[in-house]
């Protein structure tokens, strides 16, 4: 299932874009909770169902990069995957998920979640542009527009 | 700190008093872990100037509508910028205030000309308030004795006015011509206080031997200034504040002065010091009791500063009973133990009555520029401690005082807002309590003090007197929805300013009407403004649906273990007895479900002669067998319900089903109650091991004594999830756990914790154990009959700048400050941690308001509102001395439970110790104790903190090393989180009283004004026991009386009704009622102790050689038990850590 590089990065870009949208949804939901538009239960049940898709998307992308031999990109992605896995594993057995409605208002947890989401957001934003750059590089690698022969470009138009 | 080699510890359990002062070897290695406070700054305390400048436009100034204080008139001359207060007097009172103003003005003019008091510049220059004030006040100092002869025309009226003027704005420190004030009210003392001063003097009581000169000096000064009745204490308080602030400002300014002006002033001041103050203290003959007449601050005034035989006599008289007692009982006890209690109630008047003069003196001595004679340095200590005492800032060396416990229960510290009306209106400390009575003005100050900031609230407490209001419009702030309360500011007669968000709101027309006097015009006469605890009958907009009826569902475990315990007999009998008395109206519904490995429903359908039992074997996917008749109207179906209850105890006698399907039973009860909401009462005797939410045994009995405790957290999320669903449908689940084996309370308690329920635990319950059964029945009867509120929510609001960030208790936090409480009961307490998010320096008070909206059992929607107002303070010393040790302990215990659940028990224990170390260290820093002090110095208001912490470390929730069942530990932790403070303190540190000589004890009066003998409380240490005595240990729900071997036979015969010591049976669970005074006194005393409890405690009488004695002995927590430190060793450990 080796895909061409450009296609791989298009997938990466789409994946990262989706996660970005998800994170924005997270932030909106959390700030709704902060402003009392939502109650804790609704908020947490909404968010918890997306925690797993988020890590799956991330791990899937890392796996894809690994398969295609993009070692460096994969290694950069790995710590984040590890952190997300830790977040899920470290949920106490009695809690309802990463976002627990009974604790989210305690000890500044809400703020911490908000901060985490912001960090995620920044991280994915950076990677969004990294992948965008990779797409362009990979598209240009095959010299599709025949940069060596400038004259042709001009004459084409 | 628990890892101390046992070889280093003294071998014996009890520490004789003689050994107490020796240092016992305690490990000095403690890894410093962050304290309990989640946001602890590690910054050191910098000496800093107090920058809080009085702000005349501050949002909360005093109320000025004239009706509150007779002289609420801003006076430009005296108050300086204070006159800029936005004063719009109410029309009704304007005329009187105008005339008053004139008078005050004229008086002030006279006063100023007389005293040549410099016009204190207004505070708009915040440059150096300390210096500024020092300069001004010391100038005033120049001619104290000459000015002293106050113009007779001005007389008392003038003094009063001045004092009150000041009191109105307690935080306007630098503007206060304090010196003049003190001079002014001194003559008043001579006129008015003759009646009381002798008594007051006596009250001051006994001082510790350690530094008699200091105490007596202080005492003598106070004697001279005791203002007593004429100046209300709240008026004087402002002076106190000013003094404290001034003192701090000066104390903190121990850097070289930037200008030389204060330097000069300083010298001037020193030259004014009466010469004998510069002499070393020496005993002089005097008769202080008669020296009630004012003595001018000239040398002769200070001539009788020290106690004399006369004093001693007085002390003797006053402490007659107590010292008699202590002498009789414990020959080795320090007879001069401080009587903190006796001074505390009167300390307000007392403390505030100091003159400025000594304060200046003291501060002068603190200046580094003064030449330091050896005599003076000696003197400094004496004066300092003396003055500290006067200001309620005294401290004590914990290591020097073996008997630190006050003889009667410590009353909560009073919040003084500087205005009597406010003080009286403030919320009762039984309901609302803050860990400090003064709020630090910013977060860094809070961090420096190292005290936890939080409030404890007991919102649904049974109250004797509660104003209930029914009105069309409930007056609330439009912005933050705060209910109107006594601490709001009336801008004019039509508008009020919210004290939480500072919005100005319209006052509805209706509010002008006073229902009591049936007059219009003065909103301040409304009950809402007079009382800060009030209940509204809510109009329809506070209901989402019609108020629900009282619905009670009982879930009964009928597995083999449950049947063996025999609890069904008690439950059925009590329910039968109390069925008619259950709180509720005509709509009250009741239902029963029994469960083992199946679910048994009881249908009370129309036309049945006996209840119809339906058994459902499918517990994985539960359903209701019939849609109705499972929950039935109690009145209609009374006979059927009674029939069922009479059958129940024996109905399942032959069952041998060992399973218990608690999860399924809870699920069906959710389905049953979904439509209405209500209360589910679960009796659980066995581990729920089948069906949804099944659990396995997690506890390893061999690990019960180990230091590492695991499994404190729930095993699964089933119960929590279900509880949240229940909470959404207004269903609360209460647990009665009557287990004889492990039932995993940590997990199943989730169903109550998050649905606002309560948890009762009766470990190893057997019906045959009389004591257990008695306790169970008392507790269950109370449970059935106590008030109940349905579909409740509670909201905590606080002044802008503060925020509540962590909640403790059984509820679900639905949104930021809204607690969802499907049920509320009078025995539930809550705790909240508070953070200071913005600086509070521009406000003088902060408020907390808790509003509890609930449906009463009669189907009325009601709102109970509690408001607490606290002053803001700006100096570290003020903060530390305003600490409320019991409340701090209550909050710490809650925080430690969280800590143990999240990280580990060891962490929580470390955190406890670190809190004690941090607080004592920060106190030491705040005191600027330059010279190394040998002892362990603690402020008086925190002197019991180490004692309580060492008790907590040995409490079942947090102890290690002692054999503690996991369930018991978890239940103890739940108690820490949910019990109201007064019960909590008694659980942590039970009260021990000697009861063998009640006839010699002090008498106090109970609510019916009967005389009750009140023996002093004893330390929980075997050194306090006497073989000739009998001792009553009050642990809240249980009392144990220990009768020691050589107790007088009259006591045994008369009080206990037994022939001899050996005739006391092993199972003596009541004290017979006999017709003799000894017995009556004992009963009176026990009944008195039971008065404030939810239900009367059980009493167990044990002999010293009975096998049950361990029940008593394990509570002697100040002694060394196994590998836990004794209290004294704990102090030694603290001492090594406090730097």
Q: Of B220, B119, B101, B237, which is closest to residue B169 (Cα–Cα)?
A: B237
How close is the nearest chain B Cα to the Cα of A52, in Å? 18
Distances in Å between the Cα of B121 and the Cα atoms of A141, B677, B1061, B1071 are: 79, 64, 76, 70
Best of A94, A95, A98, A106 to disrupt the B interface (most B CBs within 10 Å) is A94
**Confidence at residue B384, expressed as pLDDT on a 0 to 100 scale:** 57
**Confidence at residue B220, expressed as pLDDT on a 0 to 100 scale:** 34
Give the nearest partner residue to A108 out of B717, B721, B805, using CB atoms: B805
Average pLDDT, chain B: 70
DSSP strands (E only) in B581-628: 589-595, 599-603, 612-616
Quick one: three-class SS letters along B538-585?
CCHHHCCCCCCCCEEEEEEECCHHHHHHCHHHHHHHHHHHHHHHCCCC
DSSP B747-783: HHTHHHHTTT--EEE-TT--TT-HHHHHHHHHHHHHH
Find, in chain B, the residue whose alpha carbon is nearest to that of A34. Answer: B816
Q: What is the pLDDT of residues B525-584, one digit of tens each?
A: 788 888 889 999 988 888 888 889 999 999 999 999 899 898 999 999 999 999 988 998
CATH class of the region B990-1116:
alpha beta
Alpha-carbon dihedral angle through residues B62, B67, B69, B75, given to the nearest 10 degrees:
70
| Residue B469 clears pLDDT 50, i.e. is over it | yes
- More confident position, B98 or B797: B797
How close is the nearest chain A Cα to the Cα of B745, in Å? 13
Q: Model confidence at A18, in pLDDT bands (50, 70, 90)?
A: very high
DSSP structural state of residue B890: H
Tell me whether residues A41 and B728 touch, CB distance under 8 A: yes
Find, in chain B, the residue whose alpha carbon is nearest to that of A104. Answer: B813
Q: Model confidence at B998, in pLDDT bands (50, 70, 90)?
A: confident
Q: Which helix (H) or strand (E) holds B676?
A: none
How close is the nearest chain A Cα to the Cα of B191, in Å? 57
Query: Which chain B residues are Cβ-neighbours of A108 within 8 angstroms?
Result: 38, 805
Q: Does A49 lie at the interface with B, CB-CB under 8 angstroms?
A: no
Q: What is the pLDDT of residues B74-122, one digit of tens each?
A: 333 333 333 333 333 333 333 333 344 433 343 333 333 334 333 333 3
Residues 6+ apart with CB under 8 A from B15: B1021, B1023, B1119, B1120, B1126, B1128
Query: Which chain A residues are Cβ-neighbours of B831 within 8 angstroms?
Result: none
Q: What is the pLDDT of residues B675-722, one digit of tens each?
A: 889 999 999 999 999 989 889 888 887 777 777 777 888 888 899 999
**Confidence at residue B132, expressed as pLDDT on a 0 to 100 scale:** 39
DSSP B483-539: BP-TT-EEEETTEEE-TTT--EEEPPGGGGEETTTTEES-GGGSHHHH-SEEEEEP-
| Residue B318 clears pLDDT 80, i.e. is over it | no
SS3 B1003: strand
How close is the nearest chain A Cα to the Cα of B201, in Å? 49
Find, in chain A, the residue whose alpha carbon is nearest to that of B817. Answer: A105
Quick one: B474-531 is in which CATH superfamily?
Zn-finger domain of Sec23/24 (2.30.30.380)
As a whole number, mean pLDDT of residues B1047-1072 equals 86
Residue B285, both tokens:
């003959």
Please say whether the beta carbons of B553 and B507 come within 8 A. Answer: no
| Residue B302 clears pLDDT 50, i.e. is over it | no
**Confidence at residue A1, expressed as pLDDT on a 0 to 100 scale:** 62
C-alpha A54/C-alpha B244 separation (Å) is 58
B1021: exposed, middle or buried (Cβ count in 10 Å: 0-12, 13-18, 19+): buried
**Confidence at residue B522, expressed as pLDDT on a 0 to 100 scale:** 74
Tell me whether residues B715 and A94 touch, CB distance under 8 A: yes
C-alpha A83/C-alpha B386 separation (Å) is 59
- For B693-705, b/e burial (b = at least 16 CB within 10 A) is bbbeeebeeeebe
- CB contacts under 8 A, A 78-107 vs B, are 92-96, 101-102, 104-107
Please say whether the beta carbons of B564 and B658 come within 8 A. Answer: no
CATH of B551-698+707-787, one of 2.120.10.30, 2.60.40.420, 3.40.228.10, 3.40.50.410: 3.40.50.410
How close is the nearest chain A Cα to the Cα of B528, in Å? 28
C-alpha A135/C-alpha B469 separation (Å) is 72
C-alpha B808/C-alpha B456 separation (Å) is 9
Best of B716, B809, B816, B891 to disrupt the A interface (most A CBs within 10 Å) is B816
How close is the nearest chain B Cα to the Cα of A124, in Å? 29
For helices B966-978 and B885-902, the axis angle rounded to 10 degrees is 130
> Which residues on neighbouring strands pair with residue B1034, listed in sequence order?
B991, B1039
Q: Which helix (H) or strand (E) holds B242?
A: helix B233-252
Tell me whether residues B713 and A102 touch, CB distance under 8 A: no
The residue written with tokens 């005294």 in the block is B394
DSSP strands (E only) in B627-697: 632-633, 678-684
Residue B545, both tokens:
């649906």
C-alpha B237/C-alpha B221 separation (Å) is 17
Q: Model confidence at B236, in pLDDT bands (50, 70, 90)?
A: very low
**Confidence at residue A4, expressed as pLDDT on a 0 to 100 scale:** 80
Best of A107, A109, A110 to disrupt the B interface (most B CBs within 10 Å) is A107
**Confidence at residue B706, expressed as pLDDT on a 0 to 100 scale:** 76
How close is the nearest chain B Cα to the Cα of A132, in Å? 40
- N- to C-terminal Cα separation, chain A: 37
Tell me whether residues B815 and A33 touch, CB distance under 8 A: yes
Q: Model confidence at B506, in pLDDT bands (50, 70, 90)?
A: confident
C-alpha B756/C-alpha B724 separation (Å) is 10
Longest dimension (CA), chain A: 70
- Number of Cβ atoms within 10 Å of the Cβ of B568: 24
Residues 6+ apart with CB under 8 A from B430: B412, B458, B461, B982
Is residue B518 left, alpha or beta, with left meaning phi > 0 and alpha meaning psi from -120 to 50? left
**Confidence at residue A142, expressed as pLDDT on a 0 to 100 scale:** 66
Find, in chain B, the residue whose alpha carbon is nearest to that of A37. Answer: B815
B405: exposed, middle or buried (Cβ count in 10 Å: 0-12, 13-18, 19+): buried
Quick one: B420-465+790-934 is in which CATH superfamily?
beta-sandwich domain of Sec23/24 (2.60.40.1670)
As a whole number, mean pLDDT of residues B394-420 equals 80
- Residue ranges of the domains in chain B? 76-171+178-190+215-393, 420-465+790-934, 474-531, 551-698+707-787, 990-1116
Q: Which of B127-131, B512-516, B873-877 has the highest mean pLDDT?
A: B873-877
Give the nearest partner residue to A40 out of B747, B805, B815, using CB atoms: B815
Please say whether the beta carbons of B75 and B103 come within 8 A. Answer: no
Residues 6+ apart with CB under 8 A from B338: B205, B206, B207, B208, B396, B401
> Which residues on neighbouring strands pair with residue B1068, listed in sequence order?
B1101
Q: Of B783, B878, B1130, which is closest to residue B27 (Cα–Cα)?
A: B1130
Q: What is the ipTM of this complex?
A: 0.86
Q: Does A39 lie at the interface with B, CB-CB under 8 angstroms?
A: yes
As a whole number, mean pLDDT of residues A116-123 equals 93
**Cα angle, residue B609 at apex, residues B605 and B614 outer, rounded to 5°:** 50
Counting residues of chain B whose pLDDT is more than 70, the rounded percentage is 65
- More confident position, B313 or B905: B905
Tell me whether residues A105 and B813 touch, CB distance under 8 A: yes
Give the nearest partner residue to B816 out of A41, A93, A105, using CB atoms: A105
Find, in chain A, the residue whose alpha carbon is nearest to that of B723. Answer: A102
**Confidence at residue B509, expressed as pLDDT on a 0 to 100 scale:** 79
How close is the nearest chain B Cα to the Cα of A106, in Å? 4
């Amino acid at each position: 299932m080796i895909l061409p590089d450009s296609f791989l990065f298009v997938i990466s870009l789409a994946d990262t874009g989706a996660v970005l949208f998800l994170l924005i949804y997270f932030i909106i939901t959390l700030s709704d909770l902060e402003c009392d538009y939502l109650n804790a239960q609704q908020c947490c049940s909404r968010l918890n169902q997306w925690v797993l898709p988020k890590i799956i998307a991330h791990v899937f992308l890392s796996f894809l990069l690994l398969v295609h031999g993009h070692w460096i990109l994969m290694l950069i992605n790995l710590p984040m995957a590890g952190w997300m896995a830790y977040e899920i594993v470290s949920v106490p057995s009695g809690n309802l998920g990463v976002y627990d409605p009974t604790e989210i208002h305690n000890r500044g947890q809400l703020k911490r979640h908000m901060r985490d989401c912001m960090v995620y957001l920044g991280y994915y934003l950076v990677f969004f542009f990294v992948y965008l750059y990779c797409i362009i590089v990979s598209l240009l690698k095959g010299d599709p527009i025949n940069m060596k022969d400038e004259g042709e470009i001009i004459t084409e138009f | 700190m628990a890892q101390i080699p046992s070889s280093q510890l003294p071998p014996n359990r009890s520490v004789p008093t003689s050994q107490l002062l020796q240092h016992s070897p305690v490990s000095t290695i403690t890894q410093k872990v962050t304290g309990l406070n989640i946001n602890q700054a590690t910054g050191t305390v910098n000496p800093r100037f107090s920058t809080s400048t009085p702000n005349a436009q501050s949002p909360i100034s005093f109320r000025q509508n004239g009706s509150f204080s007779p002289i609420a008139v801003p006076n430009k001359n005296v108050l300086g910028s204070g006159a800029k207060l936005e004063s719009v007097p109410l029309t009704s009172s304007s005329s009187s205030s105008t005339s008053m103003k004139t008078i005050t003005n004229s008086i002030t003019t006279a006063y100023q000309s007389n005293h040549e008091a410099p016009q204190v510049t207004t505070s708009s220059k915040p440059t150096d308030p300390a210096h500024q004030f020092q300069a001004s006040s010391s100038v005033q100092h120049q001619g104290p004795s000459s000015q002293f002869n106050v113009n007779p025309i001005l007389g008392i009226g003038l003094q009063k006015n001045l004092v009150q003027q000041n009191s109105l704005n307690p935080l306007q420190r630098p503007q206060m011509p304090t010196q003049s004030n003190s001079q002014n009210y001194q003559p008043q003392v001579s006129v008015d206080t003759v009646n009381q001063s002798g008594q007051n003097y006596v009250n001051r009581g006994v001082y510790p031997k350690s530094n008699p000169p200091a105490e007596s000096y202080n005492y003598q000064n106070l004697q001279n200034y005791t203002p007593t009745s004429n100046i209300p204490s709240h008026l004087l308080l402002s002076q106190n504040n000013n003094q404290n602030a001034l003192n701090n400002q000066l104390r903190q300014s121990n850097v070289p002065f930037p200008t030389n002006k204060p330097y000069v002033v300083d010298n001037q001041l020193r030259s004014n010091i009466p010469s004998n103050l510069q002499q070393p203290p020496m005993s002089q003959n005097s008769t202080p009791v008669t020296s009630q007449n004012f003595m001018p601050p000239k040398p002769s005034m200070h001539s009788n500063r020290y106690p004399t035989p006369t004093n001693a006599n007085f002390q003797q008289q006053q402490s007659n009973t107590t010292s008699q007692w202590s002498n009789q009982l414990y020959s080795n006890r320090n007879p001069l133990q401080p009587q903190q209690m006796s001074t505390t109630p009167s300390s307000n008047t007392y403390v505030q009555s100091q003159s400025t003069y000594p304060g200046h003196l003291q501060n002068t001595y603190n200046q580094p520029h003064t030449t330091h004679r050896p005599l003076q340095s000696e003197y400094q200590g004496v004066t300092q401690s003396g003055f500290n005492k006067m200001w309620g800032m005294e401290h004590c060396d914990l290591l020097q005082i073996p008997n630190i416990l006050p003889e009667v229960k410590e009353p909560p510290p009073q919040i003084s807002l500087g205005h009597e009306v406010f003080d009286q209106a403030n919320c009762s400390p039984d309901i609302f309590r803050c860990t400090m009575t003064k709020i630090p003005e910013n977060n860094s100050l809070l961090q420096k003090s190292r005290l936890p900031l939080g409030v404890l609230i007991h919102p649904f407490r049974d109250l004797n007197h509660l104003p209930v209001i029914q009105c069309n419009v409930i007056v609330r702030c439009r912005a933050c929805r705060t209910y109107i309360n006594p601490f709001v500011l009336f801008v004019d007669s039509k508008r009020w300013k919210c004290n939480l968000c500072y919005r100005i709101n319209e006052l509805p027309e209706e509010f002008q009407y006073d229902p009591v006097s049936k007059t219009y015009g003065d909103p301040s006469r409304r009950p809402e403004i007079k009382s800060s605890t009030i209940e509204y009958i809510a109009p329809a907009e506070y209901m989402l649906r019609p108020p629900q009826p009282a619905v009670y569902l009982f879930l009964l475990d009928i597995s083999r273990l449950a049947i063996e315990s025999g609890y069904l007999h008690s439950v059925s009998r009590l329910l039968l007895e109390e069925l008619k008395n259950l709180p509720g109206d005509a709509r009250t519904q009741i239902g029963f479900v029994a469960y083992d490995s199946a679910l048994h429903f009881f249908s009370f359908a129309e036309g049945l002669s006996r209840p119809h039992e339906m058994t459902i074997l499918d517990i994985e996917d539960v359903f209701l067998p019939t849609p109705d008749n499972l929950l039935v109207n109690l009145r209609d179906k009374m006979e059927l319900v009674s029939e069922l209850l009479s059958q129940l105890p024996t109905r399942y006698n032959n069952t041998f089903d060992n399973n218990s399907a608690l999860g399924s039973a809870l699920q069906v009860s959710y389905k049953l109650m979904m439509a209405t909401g209500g209360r589910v009462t679960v009796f659980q005797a066995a581990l729920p091991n089948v069906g949804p939410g099944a659990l396995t045994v997690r506890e390893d009995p061999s690990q019960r004594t180990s230091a590492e405790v695991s499994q404190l957290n729930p095993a699964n999320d089933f119960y929590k999830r279900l509880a949240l669903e229940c909470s959404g449908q207004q269903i609360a689940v209460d647990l009665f756990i009557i287990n004889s084996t492990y039932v995993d309370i940590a997990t199943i308690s989730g169903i109550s914790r998050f649905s606002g329920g309560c948890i009762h635990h009766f470990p190893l319950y057997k019906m045959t154990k009389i004591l257990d059964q008695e306790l169970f029945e008392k507790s269950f009867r109370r449970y059935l009959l106590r008030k109940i509120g349905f579909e409740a929510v509670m909201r905590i609001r606080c002044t802008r700048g503060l925020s509540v960030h962590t909640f403790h208790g059984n509820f679900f936090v639905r949104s930021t400050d809204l607690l969802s409480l499907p049920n509320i009961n009078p025995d539930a307490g809550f705790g909240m941690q508070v953070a200071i998010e913005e600086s509070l320096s521009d406000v003088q008070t902060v408020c907390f308001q808790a509003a509890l909206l609930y449906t009463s059992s009669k189907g009325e929607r009601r709102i109970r509102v509690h408001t607490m107002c606290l002053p803001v303070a700006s100096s570290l010393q003020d903060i530390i001395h305003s600490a409320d040790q019991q409340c701090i302990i209550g909050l710490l215990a809650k925080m430690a439970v969280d800590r143990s659940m999240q990280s580990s028990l060891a962490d929580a224990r470390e955190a406890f110790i670190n809190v004690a170390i941090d607080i004592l260290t920060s106190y030491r820093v705040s005191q600027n104790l330059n010279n190394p002090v040998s002892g362990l110095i603690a402020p008086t208001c925190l002197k019991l903190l180490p004692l309580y912490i060492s008790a907590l470390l040995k409490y079942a929730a947090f102890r290690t090393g002692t054999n503690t069942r996991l369930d018991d530990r978890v239940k103890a932790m739940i108690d820490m989180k949910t019990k109201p403070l007064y019960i909590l303190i008694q659980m942590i540190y039970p009260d021990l009283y000697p009861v063998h000589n009640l006839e010699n004890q002090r008498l106090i009066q109970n609510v019916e004004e009967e005389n009750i003998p009140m023996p002093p409380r004893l330390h929980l240490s075997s050194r306090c026991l006497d073989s000739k005595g009998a001792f009553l240990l009050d642990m809240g729900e249980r009392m144990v009386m220990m009768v020691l071997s050589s107790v007088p036979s009259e006591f045994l015969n008369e009080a206990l009704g037994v022939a001899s010591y050996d005739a006391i049976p092993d199972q003596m669970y009541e004290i017979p009622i006999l017709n003799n005074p000894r017995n009556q006194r004992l009963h009176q005393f026990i009944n008195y102790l039971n008065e404030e409890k939810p239900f009367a405690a059980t009493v167990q009488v044990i002999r010293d050689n009975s096998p049950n004695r361990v029940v008593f002995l394990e509570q002697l927590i100040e002694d060394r038990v196994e590998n836990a430190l004794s209290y004294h060793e704990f102090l030694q450990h603290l001492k090594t850590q406090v730097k």
